[in-house]
Amino acid sequence: MDDTAGAGRRVRGGGGAARRAERTAVRSEFTRYIERNIPNLDILTEEGLAIIEANADTVLEEIGVNFPDNPAALALWRAAGADVRGDRVRLPRGLARSLCATAPATITQHARNPDRNVVIGGKGLVLAPVYGPPFVRDRDGGRRYATIADFRNFVKLGQMSKWLHHSGGTVCEPTDVAVNKRHLDMLHAHMTLSDKPYMGSVTEPARAADSVEMSKILFGADFVDQNTVMTSLININSPLTFDATMMGALEVYARAGQACIISPFIVGGAMAPVTVAGTLTQVLAEVLAGVAYSQLIRPGAPAIFGAFVTSIDMNSGAPTFGTPEAAQITLGAGQLARRLGLPYRSAGAFCGSKLPDAQAAYESANSLNIGLLAGVNFMLHACGWLEGGLVSSYEKYVMDADQLGVLHRLAAGVDVSDNGQAMAALREVGPGGHFLGCDHTQANFKTAFWRTDLLDYKPFETWEEEGARDTVALAQARVHKMLGEYQAPDLDPGIAEALADYVARKKAAVPDAFL
Amino acid sequence: MDDTAGAGRRVRGGGGAARRAERTAVRSEFTRYIERNIPNLDILTEEGLAIIEANADTVLEEIGVNFPDNPAALALWRAAGADVRGDRVRLPRGLARSLCATAPATITQHARNPDRNVVIGGKGLVLAPVYGPPFVRDRDGGRRYATIADFRNFVKLGQMSKWLHHSGGTVCEPTDVAVNKRHLDMLHAHMTLSDKPYMGSVTEPARAADSVEMSKILFGADFVDQNTVMTSLININSPLTFDATMMGALEVYARAGQACIISPFIVGGAMAPVTVAGTLTQVLAEVLAGVAYSQLIRPGAPAIFGAFVTSIDMNSGAPTFGTPEAAQITLGAGQLARRLGLPYRSAGAFCGSKLPDAQAAYESANSLNIGLLAGVNFMLHACGWLEGGLVSSYEKYVMDADQLGVLHRLAAGVDVSDNGQAMAALREVGPGGHFLGCDHTQANFKTAFWRTDLLDYKPFETWEEEGARDTVALAQARVHKMLGEYQAPDLDPGIAEALADYVARKKAAVPDAFL
């Protein structure tokens, strides 16, 4: 099995920047996105799916969704045949689903290095890092507000992480940069420090427009007009409310042919019912309305069925992670997304723990495994998430990123070729023998098993002599090593200059704002 | 949903001891074994399964298996139609499978408290604790050789663990008791300190016989003659070798109608080929031969398809855990077991880590989740396993045991009843509302979500004020609490006396041996 590929892979199309990148790219180890060769785990029956789909139609028809402060959206909905009263939009049964039919089933997101292009949909799984935390934590400095220096470090870790396919978006909030300007620095970091695909800004429509403009500098304007080079996280204000700012960003991206992840943001019991089937009904209704709206903006605009779902700790009101209810919703939403013919975003290395300890790892492993088996196509937060999403953890980033290798190998399925069957080895060794020295083992041992780059399997005495380090201590060393070895991927100097100039110009044009 | 049940459950049959126990049982919280309401994850195709089954037949026919130092076994095989030369037994194609047909598809293992009876097979999953470590570790005392005091503590923790269905066997090796007598103390602890089902001794045929005799004191001789009251772990000396001592224990149990787990013990790359399909072929061949042998001893004897599989770290030669290859083997062996119509034992909270840290938790969670989805019916090592099985960890025991609750809820599937659909809640709350206060939430919140008894979801500031405890520190407190609150289940004084007398008599009869 050959999961990873280094130098010399062939270019598969791409723009001028892509070709230039190919000529000059730093040859770091990387892995293609996962293409599953194992089945999904379908926990809902046909009957259960039909009930939930019918109920979602009832929600859209009887209860409807709100599009506040957005008269243009209301006009579009009215023209499409919806019943619009005030901000409330009620959709005749089947309307949303029929509008969703123009959204593509798979999306190729281009990277400036075309070897890093990803296909989102089908049997694919694209892994992207944590998104959104205002804090960072590491073993060296503890928990503190994130800065742009942290942001750049996390982008570098992403570039160096061989099982990670995507540079992500807000890998942490650079709180030392003005709110109205930090998107420029964040995009600049992704574009210059990584050659993996990245996400656009969604916090204001104008910032989405900046994301498109900067992408045109990086890829060329024609290329961006004709291809998807960004995914962007459009959260729904659950229950059933479509915030005008987020919709403004969606409108920019949809018009530009860039991909939107339409994602209910749900803490079950608070923003959705306490039951799995009830939450799935709401998730489906919200995604149907959101994706349908993207198709009203531009038929064929790439859109992704998102589901960010946690449950609530009924004692404290805090969100919980890695729970069985979240697993069931993740699995069920995958079935609903496939029936709708849309790519699916869910799961991640979710945890509620304050530290990258056993709690964090149980919760994250539960969610990562379920994400693979749920047929997730785009997994945001696949590494680095800590403390319910308040913290980007340096150590947990590399810990989770190592575990992503497990998903790759599990997804590859079982090789039943002659070599996989290993009958020659069984015949050579026989009863009571040992396989280590046999020909088949010698021919296969280098690639036979997934290998960790982090975890410890040494004998107890060796481990103790070396300092009795726990996983966090091992991860701290790996963070230092990766940042120390990091090399920026080459970038055409003209493009680099134009990007820097764009950022400087936009920053100079308005005063800083920290709200 | 009502996973747990306390006082007042009805007795479902059982012997005299069982009826006495029912009258006097301490009412501790407990949970019935899992009955899955979700599908298994079948990763092998029909073609792959047919290849592996044909290859296993070829292994048995051409290579054969060894039964050293066991002339009686060789005679039985010869009479059954096998080709026996020296210790080597070669089986005509199909012979082993046809002999296996008399083994039951499901096994009811009785406990002295009949509410704790378990059914092993079908859609069931019975969870049992760690088995075999010579060391223990806790946060109070570090890593040290296990003693009988530790053993009793682990049995008490098992009795107090609500998601654990089985008291297990050698929860740690009581190294302060003579090797030839410790089985007596171990059985006595399970029989007196727990009222859950337990495992018998397998280290010598005479110790297996003691296990049967002591069970007859506990349950009554007639009851034991007619029912299964023990499962026992019969390891195969992989590759393809059936150790005479282990077979001696199997012979005792099979004749007594007690259940044997026929378990290849495989570190892939050492005791089996480095490939998944090759290992599955060997596992199937070994289990076929072992179960067939149990049926030669007594047709209808209860037997379980076992698969203990890890892979090897090709750098150090150390076994690895929670890996994708082990997951694929666990999933594939489940499919093979179901096609053979046998109950299936595999998975566990496996890890290679020296500490109950993030590594331990990632590895354990990977294995626990896969175990559930592989259709495992009996999961040994479901809690407490540390350091590749060298250590029983107090803290990890309660950490894993808490996670077993996740498996229960995930396995229960999705409720699509009217209450599960929650349409009333969606109608009541509407766009922009909040579900916490709605009628449906109020009616359901107590049972809506799995609740941890261990993990922390408090706000950061509260958590910090309370000492910034990691999972191990939380688990240490829980261990102390559980052992402090432990109450022994009542036992008929006559039975207690007879058991103590049996142990004393057997111990006095021979000198201590420590080899």
- The bridge status of strand A124-127 relative to strand A34-35 is antiparallel
Contact between A274 and B324 using a beta-carbon 8 Å cutoff: no
Nearest to B238 by CA among B297, B279, B295: B279
Q: Considering the entire predicted model, what is its pTM?
A: 0.94
Which stretch of A291-295, A359-363, B263-267 has the lowest confidence by average pLDDT?
B263-267
- Assess whether A319 and A366 both reside in one domain: yes
Burial class (CB in 10 A: 0-12, 13-18, 19+), A352: buried
Any domain includes B425: yes
CATH number at residue A501: 3.20.20.480
Query: B264 φ, ψ to 5°?
Result: -55, 140
- Provide the 8-state DSSP code for B33: P
Query: Tens digits of per-residue pLDDT, A361-383?
Result: 999 999 999 999 999 999 999 99
Element (H, E) at B31: strand B30-31
A405: closest chain B residue by CA: B324
Q: Given pLDDT bands bounded at 50, 70 and 90, which one contains residue A163?
A: very high
Contact between A43 and B361 using a beta-carbon 8 Å cutoff: no
Provide the domain limits for residue A434.
Answer: 418-448
- Cα distances (Å, whole numbers) of residue A162 to A19, A30, A482: 22, 4, 11
Partnered with residue B90 across adjacent β-strands are B83
Query: Tens digits of per-residue pLDDT, B344-391?
Result: 999 999 999 999 999 999 999 999 999 999 999 999 999 999 999 999
Query: Does the structure show a pLDDT above 50 at B64?
Result: yes
What six digits make up the tokens of A507? 């920053």
Nearest to A195 by CA among A349, A401, A9, A30: A30
- Assess whether A341 and A443 both reside in one domain: no
Burial class (CB in 10 A: 0-12, 13-18, 19+), A26: middle
DSSP percent split of chain A into helix, strand, coil, nearest 5: 45, 15, 40
E strand segments, B254-368: 259-268, 303-312, 319-320, 344-346
Query: Does the structure show a pLDDT above 70 at A18?
Result: no
- Assess whether A254 and A350 both reside in one domain: yes
CA A103/CA A37 separation, integer angstroms: 25
Any domain includes B119: no
Contact between A448 and B359 using a beta-carbon 8 Å cutoff: no
- Assess whether A131 and A161 both reside in one domain: yes
Q: Which residue has the higher pLDDT, B18 or B248?
A: B248
Q: Which member of B88, B365, B472 has the closest CB to residue A365?
A: B365
- Dihedral sign computed on CA atoms, order A59, A63, A64, A66: negative
- Residue A28: the pLDDT is 63
**What is the total residue count of chain A?**
515
Burial class (CB in 10 A: 0-12, 13-18, 19+), B301: buried
Residue appearing with tokens 């060997």: B282
What six digits make up the tokens of B100? 């296996």
Q: Report whether A275 contacts B420 (CB < 8 A).
A: yes
- Assess whether A431 and A480 both reside in one domain: no
B143: closest chain A residue by CA: A460
- Assess whether A424 and A308 both reside in one domain: no
- Assess whether A311 and A433 both reside in one domain: no
Q: How large is the average pLDDT for residues A282-293?
A: 98
CA A363/CA A375 separation, integer angstroms: 19
Query: Tens digits of per-residue pLDDT, B133-184?
Result: 999 999 999 999 999 999 999 999 999 999 999 999 999 999 999 999 999 9
Query: Tens digits of per-residue pLDDT, A419-450?
Result: 999 999 999 999 999 999 999 999 998 899 99
Which residues from A are below 8 Å from B51, CB to CB? 416, 421
Query: Does the structure show a pLDDT above 70 at A10?
Result: no
- Assess whether A439 and A354 both reside in one domain: no
Q: How close, in Å, is residue A411 to chain B by CA atoms?
A: 9
> Which of the listed residues A432, A448, A464 is the one where a domain comes to its end?
A448
Query: Does the structure show a pLDDT above 90 at B55?
Result: yes
Q: Given pLDDT bands bounded at 50, 70 and 90, which one contains residue A11?
A: very low
What six digits make up the tokens of A19? 């070709």
Share of chain B above pLDDT 90, in %: 91
B310: closest chain A residue by CA: A449
Any domain includes B434: yes
Q: Which member of A42, A55, A353 has the closest CB to residue B456?
A: A353
What six digits make up the tokens of B152? 């009793």
Query: Does the structure show a pLDDT above 80 at B434?
Result: yes
CA B334/CA B373 separation, integer angstroms: 9
Partnered with residue A306 across adjacent β-strands are A345
Any domain includes B267: no
Query: Tens digits of per-residue pLDDT, B292-335?
Result: 999 999 999 999 999 998 888 877 888 999 999 999 999 999 99
Contact between B277 and A324 using a beta-carbon 8 Å cutoff: no
Q: Given pLDDT bands bounded at 50, 70 and 90, which one contains residue B11?
A: very low
- Assess whether A426 and A323 both reside in one domain: no
CA A238/CA A65 separation, integer angstroms: 10
Hey, of A316, A323, A359, which one would you mutate to test binding to chain B, going by the most B CBs within 10 A of its CB?
A359
- Assess whether A15 and A70 both reside in one domain: yes
- Assess whether A225 and A92 both reside in one domain: yes
Instruction: Encode B202-242 in three state secondary structure.
Output: CCCHHHHHHHHHHHHHHHCHHHHHHCECEEEEEEEECCCEC
Q: How close, in Å, is residue A219 to chain B by CA atoms?
A: 38
- Residue A13: the pLDDT is 41
Q: How close, in Å, is residue A65 to chain B by CA atoms?
A: 6
- Assess whether A312 and A430 both reside in one domain: no
Nearest to A287 by CA among A244, A322, A333: A333
Any domain includes B439: yes
B316: closest chain A residue by CA: A458
Nearest to B295 by CA among B105, B103, B108, B61: B103
Contact between B358 and A471 using a beta-carbon 8 Å cutoff: yes
Nearest to B410 by CA among B155, B36, B123, B139: B36
Any domain includes B383: no
Any domain includes B217: no
Q: How large is the average pLDDT for residues A211-237?
A: 98
Any domain includes B429: yes
Q: Which member of B241, B363, B471 has the closest CB to residue A431?
A: B241
Query: Does the structure show a pLDDT above 80 at B502?
Result: yes
H helical segments located in B274-317: 276-297
Contact between B456 and A423 using a beta-carbon 8 Å cutoff: no
| Helical pair B394-411 and B358-373, crossing angle rounded to 10 deg | 30
- Provide the 8-state DSSP code for B196: S
- Cα distances (Å, whole numbers) of residue A436 to A423, A442, B498: 15, 7, 51
- The bridge status of strand A65-66 relative to strand A88-90 is antiparallel
Q: Which member of A143, A273, A432 has the closest CB to residue B239?
A: A432
**What is the total residue count of chain B?**
515
Our count of domains for chain B comes to 1
- Residue A17: the pLDDT is 54
